[in-house]
Structure 1
Amino acid sequence: MSEPDFRCSFASAGDDEPIVGTAPTDTELLLVEAPGPWGKDALADNRLPEVVREHLAALDLKVFLLRRPDGSASTGTHVFRATATPEGYDVRATVLDRPEDLIGLDPDTWASYPAGEPLWLVCTNGKRDRCCAEIGRPIAGLLASEWPEGTWETTHLGGHRFSGTLLGLPSGVTLGRLGADEALDACRAVLRGELPERLTRGRAGRAGVDQVRELHVRAGGSPDAQIVAVPGPVRRQSCGDTKVKGTTVYEVR
């Protein structure tokens, strides 16, 4: 059972747990619009047709579900495919007449997502972790006021304890411990090519060591420095359950 008063993000911030090197490492992402509520296991518990749920569960890549912050449903089903590149991600997009049309569809035929148009994915799945919902939803609503087409709530970016957490595409820049009061400025900085200090977890699609190296070099450190992953403290990582897991921290030598 979870403890009703425990907040994993408060505990992590209170311990000053490092966030650097914790961005998602997945190199292939599939983002599928699925309005409505999501369960703790969002891919299994959503309002998509059963045949689509089964198809997504069988894919050998990371799948995120998306919904609009205001709860509205689009005309058609928005789908994005993101493939890691040295600079971030190559993003392709399409809008399906119905979700079932995703099955058998070749992403190579999809249009490239417009250059200069950001996608902001804010983790908000409260059934999986209450910190994501409590902190993430106000952030998503705020970003949608400036980027209505590019802002989405998403199911799980990893690292509940770093809420509010956000993945920006196509840059891959992943932010953590983001508050609503700083979200707009932080996202504008990402669009300028900056890595907001104190908030940047790393660039997704890369190994943790490489994420740390980029931040180290961007801060003026030597590109020849050795970045070493070492075991960190065992800690509870979610509000959703009481399990404890080992963590990884990175040393610059």
Structure 2
Amino acid sequence: MPDLTEFRCSAASVEDDESIVGTAPTDTETLLVESPGPWGRDAIAENRLPEPVREHLGSLDLKVLLVRRPDGTSGPGTRVFLARATGEGFDVRGAVLDRAEDLLGIDLATLPSYDEPLWLVCTNGKRDRCCAEIGRPIAASLSQAWAEGTWETTHLGGHRFSGTLLALPSGITLGRLDTGNALAACQAVLRGELPEGLVRGRAGRSGVDQVRELHVRAGGDPDDEVVAVAGPVRRQSCGDDKVKGTTRYEVGAR
């Protein structure tokens, strides 16, 4: 039996020089719901929200992420955000509900616009150890600069690229963050820049489109073809010893 307590997927990915480009979440609509925790591996089903709310969230036909403050505080009320992909990033709307149960009857399309930056750091240690060990210190650090905008969240995908972060409204998704580079990277995103070596892509787009955008932003020819090809089969998580296929991208002239 492999020793699951010693393996760190993020360290293995760095050691293998695995590219993070084109690995941002592709979901075009995401609902964020405040749930102070703790969270289980299946966070939507395993949390302290009322059972009817858990069942409702599990039935929705969109990506649902739970969020919590890095310092463990919550309320008053339950904060919710809805992010929908646009051509340039995401349209974000948000509100504070009196009770979590209010989610059962709310029309998400009526939420008011939310214009402040959101920094969503993946920290669910029940799903992957790297997310907790690397992500939680990052979230605590960013909360010193953006107390209202920084949240821990349940699952951005790509555990092996920890620390991982989704920035809204831009949709820029970062990987391989640590407490030494996270603040500067987020400040760069606010300026409209792409911090070198840390950008996974813009969420809400296919992997091919993510790679194409980064290629063009780096000075590449927009007519160059981007092709997804099978990458190596590898272990992708600290949480189990399963191996899965990966995808890599090749860029070249048509």
Q: Same fold (TM over 0.5)?
A: yes
- Residues 145-160 of structure 1: matches in 2 within 5 Å? 145-160=144-159
* Secondary structure, counterpart of 2:36 in structure 1: coil
Q: Which residue of 1 is the match for residue 51 of structure 2?
A: 50
Shift >6 Å, 4+ stretches: none
Q: Give the deviation of 1:179 after TM superposition.
A: 1.1
Q: Give the deviation of 1:104 after TM superposition.
A: 2.3
Q: Give the deviation of 1:146 after TM superposition.
A: 0.4
Q: Which residue of 2 is the match for residue 84 of structure 1?
A: 85
Gaps of 5+ in 1: none
* Alpha-carbon separation, structure 1, partners of 2:209 and 2:105: 34
Give the AA of the match of 2:223. D
Q: Give the deviation of 1:108 after TM superposition.
A: 1.8
Q: Which residue of 2 is the match for residue 73 of structure 1?
A: 74
Give the AA of the match of 1:88. G
* Alpha-carbon separation, structure 2, partners of 1:74 and 1:134: 26
Q: Which residue of 2 is the match for residue 123 of structure 1?
A: 122
Give the AA of the match of 2:83. A
Q: Which residue of 2 is the match for residue 14 of structure 1?
A: 15
Give the AA of the match of 2:33. V
* Secondary structure, counterpart of 1:101 in structure 2: helix
* Secondary structure, counterpart of 2:143 in structure 1: helix
* Secondary structure, counterpart of 1:141 in structure 2: helix
Gaps of 5+ in 2: none
Give the AA of the match of 1:131. C
1:118-147 deviations in whole A, cap 9, x for unaligned?
Answer: 100000000100000000000000000000
Give the AA of the match of 2:74. A
* Alpha-carbon separation, structure 2, partners of 1:227 and 1:167: 23
* Secondary structure, counterpart of 1:79 in structure 2: strand
* Secondary structure, counterpart of 1:205 in structure 2: coil
For normalisation by structure 2, the TM-score amounts to: 0.98
What is the number of residues matched between the two proteins? 251
Q: Which residue of 1 is the match for residue 99 of structure 2?
A: 98
Percent identity, aligned pairs only? 75
- Residues 1-253 of structure 1: matches in 2 within 5 Å? 3-114=4-115, 117-253=116-252
* Secondary structure, counterpart of 2:144 in structure 1: helix
For normalisation by structure 1, the TM-score amounts to: 0.98
* Alpha-carbon separation, structure 1, partners of 2:197 and 2:18: 12
Q: Give the deviation of 1:103 after TM superposition.
A: 1.0
Give the AA of the match of 1:55. H
1:28-52 deviations in whole A, cap 9, x for unaligned?
Answer: 0000000020001101110000000
Q: Give the deviation of 1:109 after TM superposition.
A: 1.3
Q: Give the deviation of 1:249 after TM superposition.
A: 0.2
How big is the alpha-carbon RMSD for the aligned residues of Structure 1 and Structure 2? 0.8
* Alpha-carbon separation, structure 2, partners of 1:33 and 1:12: 31
* Secondary structure, counterpart of 1:100 in structure 2: helix
* Alpha-carbon separation, structure 1, partners of 2:5 and 2:137: 21
